[in-house]
Amino acid sequence: MEQSVSYTLDSTLDTVDHAEEKATRIATDIGFGEDEVMQISMAVRECAVNAVLHGNAYAPDKKVVLSFERTPEDLVITIRDQGKGIDLGGIPNPLAPENLLKTSGRGIFLMRSFMDVVEIRPSQTGTEIKLIKHVRGSSAAGKEASQ
């Protein structure tokens, strides 16, 4: 993978699939293990769903910007939409008993479960979410070292 790569994508369901596919390919190329690749791709998928559905609300004039950066220690993925900005205080805990049987509201929880760092920066011109996965010695770096 190049050190960084960026894509500007339409607000469609295809973008969600494409974002997931790109994350899977890049995480695999870097050398993450199978479980970590699945975690990264799922976190990116959930983030892309939020950007397309809740952020841009499928608006054809609004774009989703997806970027991947490989640093010596991390894979850093940033997804930015052009919506009204997520209300961080309005995100319910999906593990609370009263929310367990709700049919939505688990996306950010899954991102936080699967990534080492999740930073959410809402603004009036959109939301930017940064997903970071450390390249650990026992996974990607270890795999590279053993080859």
Partner 1 sequence: MSMKLSTRQVDGVTIVDCSGRITLGEGSVMMRDTVRDLLAKGNKKIVLNLGDVNYIDSSGIGELVSAFTTTKNQGGELKLLHLTKKVHDLLQITKLYTVFDVKDDETAAVKGFK
Minimum distance, C-beta of residue 46 to partner 1, in the bound complex (Å): 6
Minimum distance, C-beta of residue 121 to partner 1, in the bound complex (Å): 21
89: which DSSP letter?
G
- CA distances, 43 to each of 38, 114, 124 (Å): 8, 7, 24
The interface with partner 1 within residues 43-82 (CB under 8 A) comprises: 45-46, 49, 53
Decide: is 113 part of the binding site for partner 1 (CB under 8 A).
yes
Nearer to partner 1, 96 or 145 (CB): 96
* Residue 69 phi, psi (nearest 5): -135, 130
Q: Are 23 and 77 in contact (CB under 8 A)?
A: yes
Decide: is 104 part of the binding site for partner 1 (CB under 8 A).
yes
Cα dihedral 53, 59, 60, 64 sign: negative
Task: For residue 76, give the 3-state DSSP assignment.
Answer: strand
Decide: is 100 part of the binding site for partner 1 (CB under 8 A).
yes
Nearer to partner 1, 46 or 81 (CB): 46
| Residues lying near partner 1 in the complex (CB under 8 A) | 13, 16, 38, 42, 45-46, 49, 53, 94-95, 100-104, 106-107, 109-110, 113
